[in-house]
Amino acid sequence: MKQRILTGDRPTGPLHLGHYVGSLVNRVKLQDEYDCFFIIADYQVLTDHLKETATIGENIREIVLDYLSVGIDPQKSTIFIQSKIPAITELTMYFSFLVTLPRLQRNPTVKDEAKTYGVTNISYGFLGYPISQAADILAFKADLIPVGQDQLPHIEQTREIVRSFNRVFGKEVFALPEPLVGEIPVLVGTDGTNKMSKSLDNFVAFAHSPEETERRILNMVTDRKRAYRKDLGHPDECFAFKYWSVFAPTDTLLVRQECETAARGCKECKAQLAKKLNEHLVEIRERRQCYVSQPDLVWDILAAGTKRARAVAAETLEEVREAMKISFPRLRVSMKRGK
Contact residues toward ligand ATP (CB under 6 A) are: 9-10, 12, 18-19, 22-23, 147-148, 150-151, 186-187, 195-199
Residue number with CB closer to ligand ATP (187 or 323): 187
Report d(CA 223, CA 259) in Å as an integer: 10
Residue number with CB closer to ligand ATP (208 or 226): 208
Which phi and psi (to 5°) does residue 175 adopt?
Answer: -100, 165
Write down the least CB distance from residue 149 to ligand ATP, Å: 7
Report d(CA 102, CA 330) in Å as an integer: 39
Cα–Cα–Cα angle for 97, 101, 106, nearest 5°?
A: 130
Give Cα separations from 85 to 28, 89, 185, 217, 305 (angstroms): 24, 7, 29, 39, 11
Residue number with CB closer to ligand ATP (184 or 255): 184
Write down the least CB distance from residue 13 to ligand ATP, Å: 7
Residue number with CB closer to ligand ATP (162 or 205): 205
Query: Nearest to ligand ATP by Cβ — which residue?
Result: 22
Residue number with CB closer to ligand ATP (81 or 187): 187
Q: Please list, residue by residue across 8-24, b when 16 or more beta carbons sit within 10 angstroms of its beta carbon and e when fewer do.
A: bbbbbbbbbbbbbbbbb
Write down the least CB distance from residue 65 to ligand ATP, Å: 15
Residue number with CB closer to ligand ATP (70 or 147): 147
Report d(CA 253, CA 249) in Å as an integer: 8
Residue number with CB closer to ligand ATP (10 or 288): 10
Residue number with CB closer to ligand ATP (148 or 265): 148
Chain centre distance of CA 146: 9
Write down the least CB distance from residue 205 to ligand ATP, Å: 10
For 119, the enclosing helix (H) or strand (E) is none
* Closest C-alpha to 133, from 114, 147, 119: 147
Report d(CA 220, CA 242) in Å as an integer: 12
List, as one string, the DSSP characters of 157-178. HHHHHHHHHHHHHTS---PPPE
Which residues on adjacent β-strands are paired with residue 146?
Answer: 180
Write down the least CB distance from residue 339 to ligand ATP, Å: 37
Write down the least CB distance from residue 247 to ligand ATP, Å: 13
Give Cα separations from 69 to 66, 117, 284, 291, 333 (angstroms): 5, 29, 5, 8, 43
Beta-sheet pairing, 4-9 with 178-181 = unpaired
Write down the least CB distance from residue 170 to ligand ATP, Å: 33
Looking at residue 256, its amino acid is R
Write down the least CB distance from residue 208 to ligand ATP, Å: 14
